[in-house]
Amino acid sequence: MEAHMNSISTTPPLAADLISFIEGLPKAELHLHIEGTLEPELLFALAQRNNVSLPYASVEELRAAYAFTDLQSFLDLYYAGAAVLQTEQDFYDMTMAYIVRSRADNVRHAEIFFDPQTHTERGIAIDVVFAGIARALREARERHGFSSAIIMSFLRHLSEEDAFATLEAALPLRAEYRDLWIGIGLDSAERGNPPEKFARVFARCRELGFHLVAHAGEEGPPQYVKDALDVLHVERIDHGVRSEEDPALMKRLAEQRIPLTVCPLSNLKLCVVDDMRKHNLARLLHAGLAVTVNSDDPAYFGGYMNANFMAVAASLRLSRTELVMLARNAFEATFLPAAAKQQLLLELDGYCMAH
Protein backbone atom coordinates (compact mmCIF):
# COMPACT_ATOMS: atom_id res chain seq x y z
CA MET A 1 0.00 0.00 0.00
CA GLU A 2 2.93 2.31 0.65
CA ALA A 3 3.82 2.21 -3.03
CA HIS A 4 0.35 3.53 -3.82
CA MET A 5 0.70 6.40 -1.38
CA ASN A 6 3.98 7.36 -3.02
CA SER A 7 2.62 7.21 -6.53
CA ILE A 8 -0.37 9.36 -5.61
CA SER A 9 1.78 11.94 -3.86
CA THR A 10 4.10 12.32 -6.88
CA THR A 11 1.22 12.97 -9.31
CA PRO A 12 1.16 16.67 -10.28
CA PRO A 13 -1.83 18.55 -8.83
CA LEU A 14 -4.71 19.46 -11.13
CA ALA A 15 -5.12 23.06 -12.21
CA ALA A 16 -7.96 24.82 -10.36
CA ASP A 17 -9.94 25.43 -13.56
CA LEU A 18 -9.80 21.74 -14.47
CA ILE A 19 -10.99 20.80 -10.98
CA SER A 20 -14.04 23.04 -11.31
CA PHE A 21 -14.64 21.79 -14.86
CA ILE A 22 -14.74 18.18 -13.57
CA GLU A 23 -16.95 19.13 -10.62
CA GLY A 24 -19.55 20.69 -12.87
CA LEU A 25 -19.39 18.15 -15.68
CA PRO A 26 -22.71 16.28 -15.99
CA LYS A 27 -22.07 12.56 -15.45
CA ALA A 28 -23.70 9.15 -15.67
CA GLU A 29 -22.59 6.35 -13.37
CA LEU A 30 -22.95 2.83 -14.77
CA HIS A 31 -20.84 0.69 -12.44
CA LEU A 32 -21.78 1.16 -8.81
CA HIS A 33 -22.56 -1.50 -6.22
CA ILE A 34 -24.96 0.01 -3.73
CA GLU A 35 -23.56 -2.22 -0.96
CA GLY A 36 -20.14 -0.74 -1.78
CA THR A 37 -21.34 2.73 -0.81
CA LEU A 38 -21.68 1.82 2.86
CA GLU A 39 -19.35 4.29 4.56
CA PRO A 40 -17.76 3.23 7.89
CA GLU A 41 -19.77 5.85 9.81
CA LEU A 42 -23.11 4.53 8.51
CA LEU A 43 -21.92 0.95 8.90
CA PHE A 44 -21.26 1.61 12.60
CA ALA A 45 -24.58 3.43 13.03
CA LEU A 46 -26.51 0.53 11.47
CA ALA A 47 -24.59 -2.01 13.54
CA GLN A 48 -25.66 -0.16 16.66
CA ARG A 49 -29.28 0.20 15.49
CA ASN A 50 -29.50 -3.54 14.72
CA ASN A 51 -27.34 -4.85 17.57
CA VAL A 52 -24.81 -6.36 15.19
CA SER A 53 -21.34 -6.73 16.71
CA LEU A 54 -18.43 -5.71 14.51
CA PRO A 55 -14.85 -7.01 14.71
CA TYR A 56 -13.62 -3.37 14.74
CA ALA A 57 -13.52 -1.07 17.75
CA SER A 58 -13.95 2.19 15.84
CA VAL A 59 -14.63 3.83 12.49
CA GLU A 60 -10.89 4.55 12.23
CA GLU A 61 -9.96 0.92 12.86
CA LEU A 62 -12.39 -0.22 10.17
CA ARG A 63 -11.09 2.34 7.68
CA ALA A 64 -7.55 1.16 8.40
CA ALA A 65 -8.62 -2.36 7.37
CA TYR A 66 -9.31 -1.08 3.83
CA ALA A 67 -5.82 -2.08 2.65
CA PHE A 68 -6.55 -4.75 0.08
CA THR A 69 -4.14 -7.00 -1.78
CA ASP A 70 -6.59 -8.27 -4.43
CA LEU A 71 -10.28 -8.63 -5.24
CA GLN A 72 -10.84 -11.46 -2.75
CA SER A 73 -9.35 -9.59 0.21
CA PHE A 74 -11.83 -6.78 -0.49
CA LEU A 75 -14.79 -9.14 -0.96
CA ASP A 76 -14.17 -10.73 2.46
CA LEU A 77 -14.53 -7.34 4.16
CA TYR A 78 -17.38 -6.23 1.87
CA TYR A 79 -19.58 -9.21 2.72
CA ALA A 80 -18.83 -8.79 6.44
CA GLY A 81 -19.88 -5.11 6.22
CA ALA A 82 -23.16 -5.96 4.49
CA ALA A 83 -24.24 -7.91 7.58
CA VAL A 84 -25.37 -4.67 9.25
CA LEU A 85 -28.11 -4.25 6.59
CA GLN A 86 -31.25 -5.76 8.08
CA THR A 87 -34.36 -3.65 7.49
CA GLU A 88 -35.99 -1.75 4.64
CA GLN A 89 -34.94 1.46 6.38
CA ASP A 90 -31.28 0.34 6.36
CA PHE A 91 -31.35 -0.16 2.57
CA TYR A 92 -33.13 3.17 2.19
CA ASP A 93 -30.56 5.01 4.33
CA MET A 94 -27.63 3.49 2.45
CA THR A 95 -29.14 4.35 -0.93
CA MET A 96 -30.07 7.88 0.12
CA ALA A 97 -26.50 8.49 1.34
CA TYR A 98 -25.24 7.48 -2.11
CA ILE A 99 -27.74 9.79 -3.84
CA VAL A 100 -26.64 12.77 -1.72
CA ARG A 101 -22.98 12.16 -2.62
CA SER A 102 -23.72 11.57 -6.29
CA ARG A 103 -25.81 14.70 -6.66
CA ALA A 104 -22.91 16.65 -5.14
CA ASP A 105 -20.72 15.18 -7.93
CA ASN A 106 -23.32 16.19 -10.56
CA VAL A 107 -24.21 12.61 -11.43
CA ARG A 108 -27.33 13.06 -13.55
CA HIS A 109 -28.19 9.38 -14.02
CA ALA A 110 -27.06 6.19 -12.22
CA GLU A 111 -27.59 2.52 -13.08
CA ILE A 112 -27.01 0.78 -9.79
CA PHE A 113 -26.05 -2.83 -9.02
CA PHE A 114 -27.40 -4.66 -6.01
CA ASP A 115 -26.65 -8.21 -4.87
CA PRO A 116 -29.74 -9.84 -3.33
CA GLN A 117 -27.81 -13.04 -2.56
CA THR A 118 -25.55 -11.14 -0.15
CA HIS A 119 -28.69 -10.51 1.89
CA THR A 120 -30.98 -13.48 1.25
CA GLU A 121 -28.28 -15.91 2.38
CA ARG A 122 -28.32 -14.04 5.72
CA GLY A 123 -32.08 -14.51 5.97
CA ILE A 124 -33.14 -11.04 4.73
CA ALA A 125 -36.20 -11.25 2.45
CA ILE A 126 -35.58 -10.11 -1.13
CA ASP A 127 -38.56 -7.72 -1.08
CA VAL A 128 -36.95 -5.83 1.82
CA VAL A 129 -33.87 -5.23 -0.35
CA PHE A 130 -35.90 -4.05 -3.36
CA ALA A 131 -38.23 -1.88 -1.25
CA GLY A 132 -35.54 0.08 0.61
CA ILE A 133 -33.42 0.81 -2.46
CA ALA A 134 -36.46 1.71 -4.59
CA ARG A 135 -38.01 4.04 -2.00
CA ALA A 136 -34.83 6.16 -1.91
CA LEU A 137 -34.46 6.23 -5.72
CA ARG A 138 -38.11 7.16 -6.31
CA GLU A 139 -37.96 9.87 -3.68
CA ALA A 140 -34.81 11.31 -5.32
CA ARG A 141 -36.48 11.22 -8.72
CA GLU A 142 -39.56 13.04 -7.49
CA ARG A 143 -37.80 15.63 -5.34
CA HIS A 144 -34.64 16.30 -7.33
CA GLY A 145 -35.11 14.79 -10.79
CA PHE A 146 -32.32 12.30 -9.98
CA SER A 147 -32.61 9.68 -12.71
CA SER A 148 -31.75 6.06 -11.93
CA ALA A 149 -32.26 2.37 -12.63
CA ILE A 150 -31.31 -0.85 -10.86
CA ILE A 151 -29.46 -3.91 -12.15
CA MET A 152 -29.87 -7.08 -10.10
CA SER A 153 -26.54 -8.91 -10.02
CA PHE A 154 -25.75 -12.55 -9.43
CA LEU A 155 -22.76 -13.51 -7.30
CA ARG A 156 -20.53 -15.60 -9.53
CA HIS A 157 -18.81 -17.48 -6.69
CA LEU A 158 -22.20 -19.08 -6.00
CA SER A 159 -23.81 -21.66 -8.30
CA GLU A 160 -25.99 -21.06 -11.34
CA GLU A 161 -28.79 -22.89 -9.49
CA ASP A 162 -28.54 -20.25 -6.78
CA ALA A 163 -28.78 -17.52 -9.44
CA PHE A 164 -31.89 -19.19 -10.89
CA ALA A 165 -33.46 -19.35 -7.42
CA THR A 166 -32.73 -15.64 -6.92
CA LEU A 167 -34.29 -14.80 -10.27
CA GLU A 168 -37.40 -16.83 -9.45
CA ALA A 169 -37.70 -15.10 -6.07
CA ALA A 170 -37.34 -11.65 -7.66
CA LEU A 171 -39.61 -12.05 -10.68
CA PRO A 172 -42.89 -11.62 -8.76
CA LEU A 173 -41.59 -8.15 -7.83
CA ARG A 174 -40.94 -7.15 -11.42
CA ALA A 175 -44.26 -5.39 -12.01
CA GLU A 176 -43.94 -3.38 -8.80
CA TYR A 177 -40.45 -2.16 -9.75
CA ARG A 178 -40.87 -1.87 -13.52
CA ASP A 179 -39.88 1.82 -13.38
CA LEU A 180 -36.46 0.90 -11.95
CA TRP A 181 -35.44 -2.71 -12.56
CA ILE A 182 -34.02 -2.81 -16.07
CA GLY A 183 -31.19 -5.30 -16.05
CA ILE A 184 -29.18 -8.25 -14.83
CA GLY A 185 -25.48 -8.26 -13.94
CA LEU A 186 -22.75 -10.64 -12.78
CA ASP A 187 -20.16 -9.73 -10.14
CA SER A 188 -17.97 -10.96 -7.26
CA ALA A 189 -14.90 -13.22 -7.58
CA GLU A 190 -14.03 -13.47 -11.28
CA ARG A 191 -11.13 -15.92 -11.35
CA GLY A 192 -12.33 -19.51 -11.59
CA ASN A 193 -15.92 -18.39 -12.25
CA PRO A 194 -16.09 -17.93 -16.05
CA PRO A 195 -19.10 -16.43 -17.84
CA GLU A 196 -20.25 -19.81 -19.23
CA LYS A 197 -21.04 -20.92 -15.68
CA PHE A 198 -24.08 -18.60 -16.00
CA ALA A 199 -25.00 -19.23 -19.65
CA ARG A 200 -28.43 -20.73 -18.93
CA VAL A 201 -29.61 -18.16 -16.40
CA PHE A 202 -28.47 -15.30 -18.64
CA ALA A 203 -30.32 -16.90 -21.57
CA ARG A 204 -33.44 -16.92 -19.41
CA CYS A 205 -32.97 -13.27 -18.41
CA ARG A 206 -32.51 -12.37 -22.07
CA GLU A 207 -35.82 -14.08 -22.93
CA LEU A 208 -37.41 -12.05 -20.16
CA GLY A 209 -36.25 -8.86 -21.86
CA PHE A 210 -33.71 -7.60 -19.33
CA HIS A 211 -30.64 -5.61 -20.31
CA LEU A 212 -27.54 -7.71 -19.62
CA VAL A 213 -24.11 -6.72 -18.30
CA ALA A 214 -21.27 -8.65 -16.62
CA HIS A 215 -17.98 -8.01 -14.88
CA ALA A 216 -15.18 -9.37 -17.06
CA GLY A 217 -11.51 -8.72 -17.68
CA GLU A 218 -10.80 -7.13 -14.30
CA GLU A 219 -8.72 -9.96 -12.83
CA GLY A 220 -9.93 -12.52 -15.35
CA PRO A 221 -8.41 -12.96 -18.83
CA PRO A 222 -9.58 -11.35 -22.11
CA GLN A 223 -11.28 -14.65 -22.94
CA TYR A 224 -13.83 -13.87 -20.20
CA VAL A 225 -14.67 -10.61 -22.00
CA LYS A 226 -15.24 -12.50 -25.25
CA ASP A 227 -17.33 -15.11 -23.46
CA ALA A 228 -19.40 -12.45 -21.72
CA LEU A 229 -20.21 -11.07 -25.19
CA ASP A 230 -20.64 -14.34 -27.09
CA VAL A 231 -22.03 -16.69 -24.43
CA LEU A 232 -23.92 -14.32 -22.13
CA HIS A 233 -24.77 -11.72 -24.84
CA VAL A 234 -24.10 -8.75 -22.57
CA GLU A 235 -24.47 -5.19 -23.86
CA ARG A 236 -21.76 -3.65 -21.67
CA ILE A 237 -18.60 -5.00 -20.06
CA ASP A 238 -17.95 -4.02 -16.45
CA HIS A 239 -14.23 -3.26 -16.07
CA GLY A 240 -12.78 -4.95 -19.18
CA VAL A 241 -9.34 -3.37 -18.73
CA ARG A 242 -7.53 -6.63 -19.50
CA SER A 243 -9.06 -6.60 -23.01
CA GLU A 244 -5.91 -4.71 -23.96
CA GLU A 245 -3.96 -7.99 -23.91
CA ASP A 246 -5.89 -9.20 -26.98
CA PRO A 247 -5.54 -6.97 -30.08
CA ALA A 248 -8.38 -8.71 -31.96
CA LEU A 249 -10.71 -8.15 -29.02
CA MET A 250 -9.67 -4.51 -28.82
CA LYS A 251 -10.54 -4.06 -32.49
CA ARG A 252 -13.94 -5.65 -31.96
CA LEU A 253 -14.74 -3.56 -28.87
CA ALA A 254 -13.84 -0.41 -30.79
CA GLU A 255 -15.75 -1.32 -33.95
CA GLN A 256 -18.87 -2.37 -32.09
CA ARG A 257 -18.54 0.47 -29.56
CA ILE A 258 -19.20 -1.92 -26.69
CA PRO A 259 -19.06 0.18 -23.52
CA LEU A 260 -16.49 -0.61 -20.83
CA THR A 261 -17.40 0.63 -17.33
CA VAL A 262 -13.90 1.29 -16.02
CA CYS A 263 -13.30 2.02 -12.32
CA PRO A 264 -9.90 3.70 -11.86
CA LEU A 265 -9.68 4.03 -8.05
CA SER A 266 -10.99 0.48 -7.66
CA ASN A 267 -8.29 -0.80 -10.02
CA LEU A 268 -5.63 0.98 -7.97
CA LYS A 269 -6.99 -0.11 -4.59
CA LEU A 270 -7.35 -3.76 -5.66
CA CYS A 271 -3.90 -3.79 -7.28
CA VAL A 272 -5.16 -4.32 -10.85
CA VAL A 273 -2.68 -1.49 -11.53
CA ASP A 274 0.11 -0.53 -9.13
CA ASP A 275 0.28 3.13 -10.16
CA MET A 276 -2.52 5.30 -11.58
CA ARG A 277 -0.06 6.75 -14.10
CA LYS A 278 0.15 3.27 -15.64
CA HIS A 279 -3.64 2.89 -15.95
CA ASN A 280 -4.67 2.00 -19.50
CA LEU A 281 -7.86 4.11 -19.53
CA ALA A 282 -6.38 6.75 -21.86
CA ARG A 283 -4.95 4.11 -24.19
CA LEU A 284 -8.33 2.35 -24.38
CA LEU A 285 -10.01 5.68 -25.10
CA HIS A 286 -7.50 6.56 -27.82
CA ALA A 287 -7.99 3.11 -29.37
CA GLY A 288 -11.61 4.10 -29.98
CA LEU A 289 -13.26 2.10 -27.20
CA ALA A 290 -16.39 3.41 -25.49
CA VAL A 291 -14.66 3.88 -22.13
CA THR A 292 -16.56 5.30 -19.15
CA VAL A 293 -15.46 6.30 -15.63
CA ASN A 294 -17.21 4.85 -12.58
CA SER A 295 -16.70 4.43 -8.84
CA ASP A 296 -17.51 0.69 -8.26
CA ASP A 297 -17.45 0.47 -4.42
CA PRO A 298 -16.61 4.05 -3.48
CA ALA A 299 -16.79 3.69 0.31
CA TYR A 300 -14.04 1.09 0.13
CA PHE A 301 -11.92 2.44 -2.74
CA GLY A 302 -11.41 6.05 -1.73
CA GLY A 303 -13.78 8.10 -3.80
CA TYR A 304 -16.97 8.75 -5.73
CA MET A 305 -17.32 9.93 -9.34
CA ASN A 306 -15.48 13.23 -9.10
CA ALA A 307 -12.59 11.63 -7.25
CA ASN A 308 -12.29 9.03 -10.02
CA PHE A 309 -12.34 11.70 -12.73
CA MET A 310 -9.78 13.79 -10.81
CA ALA A 311 -7.48 10.79 -10.33
CA VAL A 312 -7.31 9.91 -14.03
CA ALA A 313 -7.23 13.55 -15.13
CA ALA A 314 -4.19 14.19 -12.93
CA SER A 315 -2.32 10.92 -13.41
CA LEU A 316 -2.98 10.51 -17.14
CA ARG A 317 -2.95 14.27 -17.88
CA LEU A 318 -6.32 14.15 -19.61
CA SER A 319 -7.55 17.16 -21.57
CA ARG A 320 -11.02 18.68 -21.31
CA THR A 321 -11.85 17.05 -24.64
CA GLU A 322 -10.93 13.62 -23.27
CA LEU A 323 -12.91 14.21 -20.07
CA VAL A 324 -15.96 15.18 -22.13
CA MET A 325 -15.52 12.06 -24.28
CA LEU A 326 -15.62 9.94 -21.11
CA ALA A 327 -18.79 11.68 -19.91
CA ARG A 328 -20.41 11.43 -23.36
CA ASN A 329 -19.58 7.72 -23.64
CA ALA A 330 -21.38 7.11 -20.35
CA PHE A 331 -24.56 8.93 -21.39
CA GLU A 332 -24.56 7.05 -24.70
CA ALA A 333 -24.02 3.73 -22.88
CA THR A 334 -27.00 4.17 -20.53
CA PHE A 335 -30.08 2.01 -20.94
CA LEU A 336 -32.28 5.12 -20.93
CA PRO A 337 -34.98 5.56 -23.59
CA ALA A 338 -33.71 7.57 -26.59
CA ALA A 339 -35.46 10.81 -25.62
CA ALA A 340 -34.11 10.85 -22.06
CA LYS A 341 -30.64 9.99 -23.31
CA GLN A 342 -30.79 12.80 -25.86
CA GLN A 343 -31.83 15.27 -23.20
CA LEU A 344 -28.80 14.43 -21.05
CA LEU A 345 -26.48 14.60 -24.05
CA LEU A 346 -27.86 18.06 -24.85
CA GLU A 347 -27.21 19.09 -21.27
CA LEU A 348 -23.60 17.91 -21.64
CA ASP A 349 -23.27 19.87 -24.91
CA GLY A 350 -24.63 22.96 -23.18
CA TYR A 351 -22.11 22.62 -20.36
CA CYS A 352 -19.23 22.28 -22.81
CA MET A 353 -20.35 25.35 -24.79
CA ALA A 354 -20.58 27.40 -21.59
CA HIS A 355 -17.11 26.29 -20.38
Residues that bind Zn ion (CB under 5 A): 296
Q: Smaller CB distance to Zn ion: residue 14 or 268?
A: 268
SS3 state of residue 290: strand
Position of minimal CB gap to Zn ion: 296
Contact criterion met (CB below 8 Å) for 17 and 11: no
Cβ-defined contacts of 156-159 (< 8 Å, 24+): 156/186, 156/187, 156/188, 156/189, 156/190, 156/193, 156/197, 156/198, 156/215, 157/188, 157/189, 157/193, 158/117, 158/188
CA 280 to chain centre: 18
The distance of closest approach from Cβ of residue 187 to Zn ion in the complex, given in angstroms and rounded to an integer, is 5
Contact criterion met (CB below 8 Å) for 34 and 180: no
Catalytic residue among 190, 218, 219, 322: 218
Contacts of 339 (CB under 8 A, 6+ apart): none
Q: How many CA atoms lie within 13 A of 17 on its CB side?
A: 3
Q: Smaller CB distance to Zn ion: residue 88 or 296?
A: 296
The distance of closest approach from Cβ of residue 72 to Zn ion in the complex, given in angstroms and rounded to an integer, is 14
DSSP code of 59?
H
Q: Smaller CB distance to Zn ion: residue 153 or 280?
A: 153
Assign 3-state DSSP to the chain and report helix, strand, coil percentages, each to 5.
55, 15, 30
The distance of closest approach from Cβ of residue 55 to Zn ion in the complex, given in angstroms and rounded to an integer, is 24
The distance of closest approach from Cβ of residue 215 to Zn ion in the complex, given in angstroms and rounded to an integer, is 6
* Active-site residue, 88 included: no
Angle at the Cα of 252 from the Cα atoms of 251 and 253, rounded to 5 degrees: 95
Contact criterion met (CB below 8 Å) for 18 and 313: yes
Q: Smaller CB distance to Zn ion: residue 90 or 296?
A: 296
Q: Smaller CB distance to Zn ion: residue 35 or 296?
A: 296
The distance of closest approach from Cβ of residue 348 to Zn ion in the complex, given in angstroms and rounded to an integer, is 24
Q: Which residue numbers are catalytic? A: 218
